[in-house]
Structure 1
């Protein structure tokens, strides 16, 4: 198994959030589904309170038809 690669944008956003005092984890998920950035609860650090997806270059190069129906998850994708 290879370790996930983080984009420069992801690490930059994570750094900015950390500078504000947030505990940030990168590439959090299970079963092949990953959230790029996840912010931990300040007191219950085993819980996440915010998930952030950073759409990468592949997403932006995709045609409209290839992603409009992808059914992106919303809500609580990470626990």
Structure 2
């Protein structure tokens, strides 16, 4: 089975993790994806939201993760709904 995110097709059998995230930048310059729950509950002035994203990590550890950015939470939720529709077709 394959999925398509922002016009990129991905074979699900190559995926180890697939998750939505807030991409943040800490005051020291470190950039990292964090869970939406953590961002909603714990984010403070020490972090800056860069964007939201769907993150894909691959079973092949040599393959860099794919990060699909979304300009805001609403667009991310639309992307998640589209992805869910591909995983659970009617």
Q: What's the TM-score, normalizing by structure 2?
A: 0.29
Which one scores higher on RCO, CA 8 angstroms, separation ≥ 6?
2
Larger strand proportion of the pair: 2
